[in-house]
Chain A
Amino acid sequence: MRWYYKVPLRLRSIFHKNQAELDLSEELQFHLQNQIDEYVAQGMHPEDARHAAFRSLGGIEQAKEECRDARGVNVIDNFSQDVRFGLRMMRRSPGFSIPAILCLTLAIGANAAVFSWVEGILFRPYPLVSHQERLVALAGTARDEKSTETSWPDLLDLQRNCKLLDSLFVSKITGATLNIGERADVTTGSIVSANYFDAIGIHPILGRGFEPGEDAGRSAHPVAVISYQLWQSRFKGDPEIIGKTQRFNNVVHTIVGVAPQGFYGTFVGWAMHFWVPASMEEAFEAGGYKLEDRGARWAEAYVRLKPGITRDQAQQEISVLASRLEADYPDTNRGRSIKLWPLWQTPFNNAGTLLPTLEIMLAVVFFVLLIACANVGNLLLVRSFARRHEMTVRLAIGAGRSRLLKQLLTEGLILSVFGAAGGMLVAYWCRHALVLLFPVRSGIAMHLPGEIDGRVLALSAGVCLIATLIVGLVPAFQTRSLDLAGALKAESFGVVGASGRAWVRSSLVVLQVCLSFILLVGAALLMQSLQKIRSTSPGFSTTDVLETGVSLVAAGYDVPRAKTFQDELIDRVRSLPGVESAAYARLAPLGYGSYSSTPIAVDGYEPPPNEQPTAQYNQVSPAYFGTLGIALISGREFTRADDENAPLVAIVNETMVTRYWRGQNPIGQRLQVKGKWVQVVGIAADSKYASMRESPKPFFYVPLRQDFVRGPGLNIRTAQPLQTIQAAVTREVRAIDNNLALYEMITLQEQVDRSTSPQLVAVTLVAVLGGLALLLASIGLYGVMSYAVSQSTRELGLRMALGAGASNLLGLVLSRGLALMLTGVVIGVAVALGLTRLLGNLLYKVSPRDPLAFGSAFAVMTIAALAACFLPAWRATHTDPMRALRTE
């Protein structure tokens, strides 16, 4: 009742067990003695009196046991007894316990690792940032395109007017060239609003964060906060760092703070190493000063909700504010709104691309867990046959079924606790492993940390509990049918393929086959999809084209100087031996940067009401189409004559022709871009622009000189090896200006591979775990078949004696094994047809019911099953008929 009575009594019962037992005996002894005295006083013979007294108490041991029960001693006692017994059993049969624990370790470890990834990448992605549960991502939306960025003036308006937000802050990823001493490095950092560090609750360990107002005024506040890692690695932990200056993109910044260790910024996927206020945007972003331009959408923002406010409530308020902006500024905001996303769906970092992969992983590791449990269950079943005598004896001397059940569950618990301990180690080692699956690129530190926190531990404990129940209940189910009398009779009456007692084990194997078949189908589908993606023609050549760039913004070039530099460099590159052609483009296809987009108008095209035609475009130099190998359907390439003084021109793609000119020849027609009319001079074939998986979309090109950017990418068509060209181009760049550095040079094939790396990661993970599942299922099948063979020596011997040949017996066992597999596959097909639809997002041009994927999964499964059954079958053919019959 009251704990202060109960707890000391319980503790006494447990820790002073002997004393408690003595007390109990003495108490009962006293009672007996009094009873005897009374009977003697009534005239009984002392010996008779003693017997009568014992009888009146109704069995002294029974009374004691009931008293122990009343004290609750037995629950604890039995449990510790079971634990000790279980541990002893485990030590005595390592052949059983080691594989069982390994199975569970792998399964629980895989689950915990994926949990830690989900937690560390999707739910708590930003180490040290406070109250991440109230953090949501804010992105722009537009009717026609997938735009996620927002403009600075819009954000300021939201910040001023939204009542449900604690704070709104900007964090836009950028890169910078860092020159320290002899070394020049490219590193990643963020352009942030001045409230950034306060909003996320990060306090620099040295110096300060940004002060209010430091994000206003064009290039007015050249200050920077650097990461702990950068401080340690590049500045050798200089304690006097605050106040020193450092060139970022050739603009001198004063270092005002050092962020704490373990803070990597707020971008899922990459570690950030420096932060500059938004006022310095022009030095880091192409396209000039954008803080006063409502139409320039470049910022990526987060908001922190006030406590108790849901994302839906905040969304409603923001939608109202966004439609007010739409009404107030129709020129820039027509058709645009603002949307809040949970962190794990953030559209402008790697969370969005990793989400489908991680979702699939969760399902896959759960399957692996079930398969591992089935395997351990099977191992336990084999052992429970060996322990039938023990169980029978326990039952015979009066153990209740529930007592046996408790014992078996305790043994299951011991296994899964060991498995869970091992699994947590596996998870701990694998928590940062996801990053290893992504291709390495220079200059950018991929950062995908797993996080093992309370929630991950709790989930893993839940997984462990599921494992315990499955693993413990399977043999318990078997003991239900334990027959006291029959248990002493000998085994070996079994028949290969007999149902009877083996059906539990068989159905476990069917389950394993079914689950691993589903995983194989998933892996096959993803592999096919990846192959389709990579073999799809992107519309440009991937061989013999290299891509690089020179950061002129970083070097502080103004526009006229940049133009001169670009002309000089392209001439030098074109005259390099082995270079066929070279061209600039603001963005390379499939890169990280996003294309500019603009409202357009077309002569003769009347848009339906509420539709504002928009299209994305790229700024390219002469010879671009030839260099990238994008076919020109008709018309001409841009030439050097298409410069700032010439009439404005554009080249449009096929989809644009189909949509806006309805297939009519647009050459010579007019197109309105950003309010100015330009003449269409050519039609380019459709190609892939931002992603290999996108469907054709309207796109056009304008001459670089007519919409100038200082830091375009350089594309080079050549058959020479990359290293040769890289060295040559570096030499040429240095020859013009020794302060300039070349960006990383890669082939366009590499660019395609990088853009499809999430698919590659998904395929790799599913294939690895599918293989693991297949292995576990094969072991299960092997176990069942070899047990069946060993239990039916009599039948096999008889068949042999009656003239069955080795091939008959081989066929018998193999067909039994294949029958099990087929049952599993049939169920697997049915389930897989329902489940593979969930892969939809990751599949490209592959039907979730693709017969080739199902067929190849079936083939792999059959080969594995044959391999698993062959050894038992071969053993069956070597049964000695004489010995088999004599043993009975």
Chain B
Amino acid sequence: MAKPTDLVQGTVDLLILKTLALQPMHGWGIAQRIRQVSKDVLQVNQGALYPALHRLEQQGWIRAKWGESDNNRRAKFYSLTPDGAKYLRQEQAQWKRLSLAIDLVLETP
């Protein structure tokens, strides 16, 4: 998508996709996972999480399917589509380039 996305939203999308690249997961699980992996540094705003999931589904990058959660509740599991995986790779590369560039700027005496 060539649409300029605001940094925070774009970042949430990236984090969600990366998390789903490991295994299909429900919304709650995604939020937990991001928190754990980032050692409590990144907290996904829960109000923004579900609209983001619906938007990603609408764009065809993730797909939803109902299933059973660990505690035997019915939950909606999201999984990455092939298109989503491709998009993730692009975005990841883009992100790396960007953070490298920022590092360069910051570390230049």
Q: Which residues of A contact B (CB under 8 A)?
A: 1-2, 4-6, 9, 23, 26-28, 30-31, 33-35, 37, 56-59, 62-63, 66-67, 69-72
Contacts and interface: CB of A to CB of B under 8 A. Distances in A.
B28 A66 contact: no
7 contacts: A5-B83, A6-B58, A27-B26, A27-B75, A30-B28, A33-B73, A58-B46
A4 B57 CA distance: 12
Contact of B57 (A9, A37, A63): A9
Given A9-B57, A27-B26, A70-B54, 14 more contacts: A5-B60, A5-B81, A5-B83, A6-B59, A26-B76, A30-B76, A31-B50, A34-B28, A34-B71, A35-B46, A63-B51, A66-B47, A67-B54, A72-B58
Contacts of A28: 50
Contacts of B59: 1, 5-6
Contacts of B47: 57-59, 62-63, 66
B24 interface: no
Nearest to A9: B58
Nearest to B60: A5
Report, nearest first, the 7 A-B pairs whose CB atoms are least far apart. Answer: A5-B60, A58-B47, A66-B51, A70-B54, A70-B55, A1-B60, A34-B28
A361 to B, nearest CB: 47
A30 B69 contact: yes
Given A30-B74, A35-B28, A58 B60 contact: no
Contacts of B55: 70
Contacts of B69: 30
Interface string B4-37: 0000000000000000000000111000000000
Contact of B83 (A1, A9, A35, A58): A1
A66 B50 contact: yes
User: Secondary structure at chain B's binding surface: helix, strand, loop or mixed?
Assistant: mixed
Contacts of B54: 67, 70-71
B83 A30 contact: no
A59 B54 CA distance: 17
A6 B47 CA distance: 24
B2 to A, nearest CB: 12
A58 B45 CA distance: 9
B27 A31 contact: yes
A573 to B, nearest CB: 88
Nearest to A4: B60
A839 to B, nearest CB: 52
A522 B26 CA distance: 73
Nearest to B70: A34
Interface of B: 1, 26-28, 45-47, 50-52, 54-55, 57-61, 63, 66, 69, 71, 73-76, 81, 83
A1 B75 CA distance: 25
A72 B54 CA distance: 10
A30 B50 contact: no
A6 B55 CA distance: 11
A9 B60 CA distance: 9
Nearest to B76: A27
User: Secondary structure at chain A's binding surface: helix, strand, loop or mixed?
Assistant: helix
A2 to B, nearest CB: 5
A72 B58 CA distance: 9
A344 to B, nearest CB: 45
B58 A71 contact: yes
A57 B47 CA distance: 5
A66 B53 CA distance: 11
A2 B50 contact: no
Contacts of B83: 1-2, 5
A30 B75 contact: yes
Nearest to A67: B54
B60 to A, nearest CB: 3
Contacts of A57: 46-47
Contacts of B26: 27, 30
Contacts of A9: 57-58
B27 A70 contact: no
B73 A30 contact: yes
B51 A31 contact: no
B27 A27 contact: yes
B8 to A, nearest CB: 15
Nearest to B45: A58
Contacts of A37: 71
Nearest to B57: A9
Contact of A56 (B46, B73, B75): B46
A26 B83 CA distance: 27
A602 B73 CA distance: 114
Contacts of A34: 28, 71
A27 B60 contact: no
B60 A6 contact: yes
A70 B46 contact: no
A26 B74 contact: yes
A59 to B, nearest CB: 7
Between A2, A28, A30, the greatest number of chain B beta carbons within 10 A of the residue's beta carbon is seen for A30
A30 B73 CA distance: 8
Contacts of A62: 47
A6 B76 CA distance: 18
Contacts of A70: 51-52, 54-55, 58
Contacts of A31: 27-28, 46, 50
B67 to A, nearest CB: 11
Nearest to B31: A31
B19 to A, nearest CB: 15
Nearest to B62: A5
A2 B86 CA distance: 13
A35 B27 CA distance: 11
A461 B60 CA distance: 35
Contacts of B45: 58
A37 B75 CA distance: 15
A37 B61 CA distance: 30
A63 B50 contact: yes
Contacts of B46: 31, 35, 56-58
Contacts of B74: 26, 30
Contacts of A23: 66, 76
A33 B66 CA distance: 17
B51 A2 contact: no
A715 to B, nearest CB: 81
A67 B57 CA distance: 11
Contacts of B71: 34, 37
Given A2-B60, A23-B76, A67 B81 contact: no
Given A2-B60, A30-B28, A30-B69, A67 B51 contact: yes
A31 B75 CA distance: 9
Contacts of A6: 58-60
A251 B48 CA distance: 92
Contacts of A59: 47
A66 B83 CA distance: 24
Contacts of B58: 5-6, 9, 70-72
B79 to A, nearest CB: 13
B71 to A, nearest CB: 8
A63 B58 CA distance: 16
Contact of B51 (A1, A5, A69, A72): A69
A5 B57 CA distance: 8
A344 B73 CA distance: 75
B6 to A, nearest CB: 15
A5 to B, nearest CB: 3
A27 B57 contact: no
A312 B73 CA distance: 77
A80 B90 CA distance: 38
A65 to B, nearest CB: 9
A28 B63 CA distance: 17
B16 to A, nearest CB: 13
A34 B72 CA distance: 12
A23 B75 CA distance: 10
Between B1, B47, B52, the greatest number of chain A beta carbons within 10 A of the residue's beta carbon is seen for B47
B99 to A, nearest CB: 26
